[in-house]
């Protein structure tokens, strides 16, 4: 495509001018691979964007979507329903922790986050605790790009431009990343559970009666893969329980098998009150998100006259029929192919391959969990992100799609990845790192 043909599309989270002068285009996908328009094969080490968990081009999903669109293209979700929406909600609550059993559909992770925050605030109000309006996030957290999500999020460039327009009454806990103590940890780091006590400190500062909820990514992804220290999430849960604070797990990337369990909640043995989902829910092929709530949260709203709308919230495309068909087909594949737990059986191979990068030039940390990798590189003085961007572009030239955030490489391959492809991922990375 010519430069002028690339102009009209204002690309998201992209250096538009750099991209448009040297575009990287994809035009076809199947299994573990993409192809560029000139026919080059590219191994996908990031499942698109943490979403194509069952691999690309799954016919069961495309056929289910096509057949649904031919049968009924759209149905209004307000005061009306259609069977696949209820079926998908039922299938989702079969794999979430049993306490989480009501599903509210959205169209993205950002919408799921804003929905969960709104539900949390409204829940306390519905129960007569309207003073609970404070929300707590974490430094380096990523919760999408809605005003709610960037307010509780903790990534500077995502907040800076809008700093005067963020939600009021938001605090942040410190992040748990500590290279001094935890560099090159395999799995969960030993140090940092004590950082959960910061939540207790905020309760002492503001009083529990003012705090509605805390939102946490069990494994922070977009900020560069921060794995929770041993015991950290349990301590957060205990403090929430002690003070009546709702715990929201943002599982937009950790959901659907990424950690080796269906959800990080099960993997780490900590059940939140609200769970946000998206991405892997439809294998990335149709936009869809969801918030899964505890029964007690749902029931708090079920009061007043029977004909009253209990929650004034929803989207034109909540539970869109095509997305529901995609979700049902996707969950079917996950179940038949054992993909929600496959990361557990691949984790050792992944971990060993990942840690073989230790000692290569500029590598200051390798961290991993399930089928996730964070590879942290020493920044070039005065040029944050430049080193990892070079790795990113060189990998792409060599037929490997990775993800870069600042000077961290984050990997999350489709859960169908085979050992030979793991070898290819890490040997390409090794060659590129040596070539810097």
Q: How far is the CB of 191 from ligand PLP (least distance, A)?
A: 23
Smallest distance from the beta carbon of 40 to ligand PLP, in angstroms? 26
> Strands 363-369, 372-377: parallel, antiparallel or unpaired by DSSP?
antiparallel
Smallest distance from ligand PLP to CB 153, Å: 8
> In the complex with ligand PLP, which residue's Cβ is closer, 111 or 407?
111
Least CB distance to ligand PLP at residue 77 (A): 19
Residue sitting closest to ligand PLP (CB): 109
Calculate the CA 15 to chain-centre distance: 22
Could you give the CA distance from residue 410 to residue 48 in angstroms, rounded to a whole number?
A: 12
Shortest Cβ distance from residue 72 to ligand PLP (Å)?
Answer: 25
Q: Is residue 107 within 8 Å of 317, Cβ to Cβ? A: yes
Give CA torsion, residues 115, 255, 280, 8, to 10 deg. 60
Which residue do the tokens 């869809």 mark? Answer: 288
Which tokens go with 377?
């590189």
Query: Between 109 and 370, whose beta carbon lies closer to ligand PLP?
Result: 109
DSSP 8-state class, residue 9: -
Q: How far is the CB of 257 from ligand PLP (least distance, A)?
A: 15
Q: Which two tokens stand for residue 65?
A: 């979507």
Q: Which is nearer to ligand PLP, 250 or 365 (by Cβ)? A: 250
Residue 203 or 290 having the CB closest to ligand PLP: 290
**Backbone dihedral angles phi then psi of residue 2, each to the nearest 5 degrees:** -80, 165
In the complex, minimum distance from the CB of residue 283 to ligand PLP, in angstroms, rounded to a whole number: 14
For residue 378, give the DSSP letter.
P
157: exposed, middle or buried (C-beta count within 10 Å: 0-12, 13-18, 19+)?
exposed
CB of 348 to ligand PLP, least distance (A): 25
Measured CA to CA, the distance from residue 336 to residue 345 in angstroms comes to 16
Which of residues 250 and 407 has its CB atom nearest to ligand PLP in the complex? 250
For ligand PLP, which is the closer residue by CB, 88 or 264? 264
CA–CA distance, 190 with 186 (Å, rounded to integer)? 10
Rounded least distance, CB 220 to ligand PLP, Å = 7
Distance between alpha carbon 12 and the CA centroid of its chain, in Å? 17
The Cα 230–Cα 189 span in angstroms is 6
State the nearest-atom distance from the C-beta of 360 to ligand PLP, in Å.
27
Let me know: does 119 contact 104? Beta carbons within 8 Å. yes
Least distance in Å: CB of 324 to ligand PLP? 17
Tokens representing residue 147 in the block: 């005003």
Q: Which residues of 303-323 are buried (b: 16+ CB within 10 A; e: fewer)?
A: eeeeeeeeeeeebebbbbbbb
Q: Which is nearer to ligand PLP, 100 or 126 (CB)?
A: 100
∠ CA 17-23-25, nearest 5°, is 140
282 exposed, middle or buried (CB, 10 Å; 0-12, 13-18, 19+)?
buried
Measured distance between the N- and C-terminal CA atoms of the chain, rounded to whole angstroms: 29
Query: For residues 107 and 424, which CB has a smaller minimum distance to ligand PLP in the complex?
Result: 107
Cβ proximity to ligand PLP, 250 vs 376, nearer residue: 250
Specify the pairing of strand 289-294 against strand 211-216.
unpaired
For residue 182, give both structure tokens: 């935890």
Of 286 and 353, which CB lies nearer to ligand PLP in the complex structure?
286
Q: Which is nearer to ligand PLP, 126 or 409 (CB)?
A: 409
Site of interaction with ligand PLP (CB under 6 A): 108-110, 113, 142-144, 217, 221-222, 250, 252-253, 278
């Amino acid at each position: 495509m010519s430069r002028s043909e690339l102009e009209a599309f204002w690309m998201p989270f992209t250096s538009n001018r750099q991209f448009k002068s040297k575009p990287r285009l994809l035009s076809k996908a199947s299994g573990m691979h993409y192809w560029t328009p000139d026919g080059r094969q590219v191994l996908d080490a990031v499942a698109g964007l943490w979403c194509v968990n069952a691999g690309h081009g799954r016919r069961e999903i495309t056929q289910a979507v096509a057949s649904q669109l031919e049968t009924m293209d759209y149905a209004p979700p307000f005061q009306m329903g259609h069977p696949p929406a209820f079926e998908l909600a039922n299938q989702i609550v079969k794999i979430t922790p049993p306490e989480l059993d009501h599903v509210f559909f959205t169209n993205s992770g950002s919408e799921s986050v804003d929905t969960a925050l709104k539900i949390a605030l409204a829940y306390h109000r519905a129960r007569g605790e309207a003073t609970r309006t404070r929300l707590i996030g974490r430094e380096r957290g990523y919760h999408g790009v809605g005003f709610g999500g960037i307010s509780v999020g903790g990534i500077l460039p995502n907040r800076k431009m809008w700093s005067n327009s963020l939600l009021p009454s938001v605090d942040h806990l410190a992040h748990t990343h500590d290279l001094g103590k935890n560099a090159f940890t395999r799995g969960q780091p030993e140090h940092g559970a004590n950082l959960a006590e910061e939540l207790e400190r905020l309760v002492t500062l503001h009083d529990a009666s003012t705090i509605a909820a805390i939102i946490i990514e069990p494994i922070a992804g977009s900020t560069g893969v921060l794995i929770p220290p041993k015991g950290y999430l349990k301590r957060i849960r205990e403090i929430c329980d002690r003070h009546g604070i709702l715990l929201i797990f943002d599982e937009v990337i950790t959901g659907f098998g990424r950690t080796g369990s269906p959800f990080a909640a099960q993997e780490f043995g900590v059940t939140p009150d609200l769970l946000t989902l998206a991405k892997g829910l439809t294998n990335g092929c149709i936009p869809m998100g969801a918030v899964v709530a505890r029964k007690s949260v749902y029931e708090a709203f079920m009061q007043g006259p029977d004909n009253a709308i209990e929650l004034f919230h929803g989207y034109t495309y909540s539970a869109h029929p095509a997305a529901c068909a995609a979700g049902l087909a996707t969950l079917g594949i996950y179940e038949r192919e054992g993909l929600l737990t496959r990361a557990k059986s691949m984790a050792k191979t992944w971990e060993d391959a990942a840690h073989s990068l230790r000692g290569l030039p500029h590598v200051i940390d390798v961290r991993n969990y399930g089928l996730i990798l964070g590879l942290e590189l020493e920044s070039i003085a005065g040029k944050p992100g430049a080193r990892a961007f070079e790795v990113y572009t060189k990998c792409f030239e060599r037929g490997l799609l990775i993800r870069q955030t600042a000077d961290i490489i984050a990997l999350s391959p489709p859960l169908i990845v085979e050992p030979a492809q793991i070898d290819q991922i890490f040997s390409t990375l090794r060659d590129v790192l040596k070539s810097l």
